[in-house]
Amino acid sequence: MKNLIAIIVLAVGFLFAQEAVAQKVKTVKLEQTPGRFTQEKVKLKAGTPYVFEISNNGVDHAVGFVLAPKGKTEVEDHIKTAYVTEVVPNGAAQTSNEVVLVAGEYVYFCPLNTTEQYNLTVK
């Protein structure tokens, strides 16, 4: 009986370890140039942890990053964990905190570089 319990405990532990590996944080790299992002559409998987890495390539001032549900882009609707941890000067990159998104439609844009809103789909 003790051996059976030990095997069950090991199997459950193995399953949890597999889930932890499957949930490894993924980095989404986005580049800003003057007036635009170079990646215009992004598709991600729901429930996966992501970090957004924003690079500033040639914008003569600092840039930022906003992620919000499509159609809800007021400050109170922003996904604040997706903000970069510091504004990004020209020639540098910064990351956001970890973000886990549910399925849906989102937009991303830069409020400092005056970009249009780009689509981000989560399935």
pLDDT digits (tens, 9 = 90+) for 24-73: 999 999 999 999 999 999 999 999 999 999 999 999 999 999 999 999 99
Return the CATH number at 102: 2.60.40.420
Pairing of strands 26-33, 66-69: unpaired
**CB contact at 8 A, 38 and 62:** no
Is residue 62, in this structure, part of any structural domain at all? yes
Give which of 49, 29, 24 is closest to 39, Cα–Cα: 29
Q: Band of the pLDDT at 4, cuts 50, 70, 90?
A: very low
Domain housing 95:
21-122
Is residue 92, in this structure, part of any structural domain at all? yes
Is residue 16, in this structure, part of any structural domain at all? no
Is residue 41, in this structure, part of any structural domain at all? yes
| Per-residue model confidence (pLDDT) at position 114 | 84
pLDDT by residue (tens digit) across 84-123? 999 999 999 999 999 999 999 999 999 998 899 999 999 9
Is residue 69, in this structure, part of any structural domain at all? yes
Pairing of strands 104-109, 118-122: antiparallel
- Token pair of 44 as six digits: 């991600």
- Token pair of 112 as six digits: 């400092």
In angstroms, rounded to a whole number, what is the distance separating the alpha carbons of residues 102 and 9? 31
| Per-residue model confidence (pLDDT) at position 113 | 86
The larger pLDDT score, comparing residue 30 to residue 15, is at 30
In angstroms, rounded to a whole number, what is the distance separating the alpha carbons of residues 82 and 97? 6
The larger pLDDT score, comparing residue 66 to residue 7, is at 66
* Chain center to CA of 8: 36
Is residue 86, in this structure, part of any structural domain at all? yes
Is residue 59, in this structure, part of any structural domain at all? yes
| Per-residue model confidence (pLDDT) at position 9 | 46
Is residue 32, in this structure, part of any structural domain at all? yes
| Per-residue model confidence (pLDDT) at position 6 | 46
In sequence order, the β-bridge partners of residue 31 are 55
What total of structural domains would you count in the chain? Answer: 1
| Per-residue model confidence (pLDDT) at position 86 | 96
